[in-house]
Amino acid sequence: MSKTELVQAAQQAQQAAYAPYSNYRVGAALRTKAGKVYLGANIENAAYPDSICAERVAMFTAIMQGEREFDSIAVVTRDGGSPCGSCRQVLAEFALHATVLLADQSGQILQESTVDKLLPGAFLPSNLNIKP
């Protein structure tokens, strides 16, 4: 799957977002090293702390399916917004060196980075001297 196709999958996921409070719809498409893609969309809640971001929906769905190796994630927002700190931390847990594609809702890739560049000095399982 090409970068463009991964962004298109994230655009598709964005359509499922539930964002009545912020009206900031986010879609994510997370690709495993084996090529399988998991989608996520942000889901808001009137009790704001109970909301969840698209990136974590995609990651948690993949983890629940037994996946542990990821190579890239595309995130689509109206303006190419970057993952929040909580999403960066979750991505670092499982995909520290994965490519991150940030695109606007038209599908234009505005930034390409990696998780470790978005979260330098990430707190990792190795900090706890354990292996997950």
Active site (catalytic) residues: 55
Question: Look-up: residue for tokens 């996921």?
Answer: 13
Helix (H, G, I), strand (E, B) or coil at 104: strand
| Cβ pair 31, 13 in contact under 8 A | no
d(CA 4, CA 7): 5
Closest of 13, 18, 32, 119 to residue 76, by C-alpha: 13
d(CA 68, CA 132): 10
